[in-house]
Amino acid sequence: MAYRHHCGLAARGRARLLCANPAHYSRVVPRGHARPCHECVHAGAGDAGEHSHYHTERCYLDRRYHHSFNHQLDLLEDKLDHFGRGCHYDALTPMEPKILFEDGDIVVVDKPAGMIVYADGKHDYPELDIWLRKKLNSEIFLVHRIDRQTSGVLVVAKNEKAHAFLKEQFKNREVRKTYRAFVYGNFKDERGIIDKPIGSARGGLGPRSARTPYGTVRDAVTMYRVIRNGKDEKTNDACSYAEIFPKTGRTHQIRVHFAAVQHPVICDGLYAPGRPNLLGFERLALHALSLSFMHPHKKEMTFEAPLPSDFLAAEKLLTPLG
């Protein structure tokens, strides 16, 4: 089956015809089935909530559905799983999301790994937005997203005014985010800053890169502290536990940055293909731990998603060096 990539090039009449290679992932939708881009309608975004430069307000390109770039990457990960290059996320049975807080303006959710934030048009994964609409019996407005394989905290607006207020904070980088991750290898320093611009790894196609970025390159900064260097008690492979503070919100920023410094996130089939699954993980070892922002009523609030069971088990499996 032929695949066609749609982005700014397509909008200028230079869409590129590709093959069915797993790296080529944006399937042409038959004529007559055009729909607005789901991510543009909801102003969706990468892990930290900034709107992707690949999207316009509403995307109609040659009567074909413009699949969001984030979901193209999700599809690529699925193909890598199929070819045995990554963790098998589809084997996960997502747990029920947990509502951490709710009032008339916002709802804060602890999303389990394996649940997609909103539909990608290609899979029937459990969808957080549909679950919330049914649970609340009302409309919701997505503010940001985290990857399907990532667990943790998200804030969702319940009305347009709250949505605009929160989006502005993400845009201005006023939201404080904390993640936990288990990564391959050991660190020399206890704390660090990864200040590396992120672009495409293949000039517009494929995963993101901070080592050899192509195309539109955007600044990206990630701070971290090492909680513990150690090794997998079963395999003796070196691995570490880190707390991470992304200061910008690029697609896959944490995953790309840590891969760029030779410490990719454990079980990351896209940025660490072929690496062993350590510490018992069967999904991406990344958890959105906390989120701090200003409530629409001008009150600063912080919410934390408890560590999931696989993180608690991994803490015990990470044995000290020596």
Question: Hey, how many other C-beta atoms are within 10 angstroms of the C-beta on 7?
Answer: 24
Of 83, 79, 91, the residue nearest 125 (C-alpha): 91
Which pLDDT score, from 0 to 100, does residue 87 have? 62
273: tokens are 């293909």
Which pLDDT score, from 0 to 100, does residue 74 have? 54
Which pLDDT score, from 0 to 100, does residue 106 have? 98
- Report the mean per-residue pLDDT for the chain: 76
Q: Tell me which of 30-34, 149-153, 170-174, 224-228 is least confident.
A: 30-34
* Residue 129 falls in the annotated catalytic set: no
Task: Note the pLDDT tens digit of each residue in 63-99.
Answer: 233 334 444 455 555 544 443 445 655 445 557 999 9
Which pLDDT score, from 0 to 100, does residue 94 have? 58
CA-atom Rg of the chain in angstroms:
19
Task: Note the pLDDT tens digit of each residue in 254-280.
Answer: 999 999 999 999 999 989 989 999 999
HSE-CB for 47 with a 13 A CA cutoff = 31
- Name the more confident of 81 and 25: 81
Cα angle vertex 271, ends 266, 274, to 5°?
A: 70
19: tokens are 């093959």
Q: Which of 129, 147, 232, 310 is catalytic?
A: 147
Task: Note the pLDDT tens digit of each residue in 229-239.
Answer: 999 999 999 99
- Name the more confident of 93 and 148: 148
Q: How confident is the model at residue 125 (pLDDT cuts 50, 70, 90)?
A: confident
Q: In the chain, where are the structural domains located?
A: 3-82, 89-319
206: tokens are 């494929």
Task: Note the pLDDT tens digit of each residue in 169-205.
Answer: 999 999 999 999 999 999 999 999 999 998 876 655 4
Q: How confident is the model at residue 294 (pLDDT cuts 50, 70, 90)?
A: very high
CATH class of 89-319: alpha beta
Question: Hey, how many other C-beta atoms are within 10 angstroms of the C-beta on 322?
Answer: 5
What is the pLDDT averaged over residues 292-311?
97
- How much of the chain exceeds pLDDT 90, in percent? 58
pLDDT above 90 for 12: no
Contact 80, 271 (CB under 8 A): no
**Residue type for position 181:** A
Which pLDDT score, from 0 to 100, does residue 202 have? 60
Which pLDDT score, from 0 to 100, does residue 86 have? 52
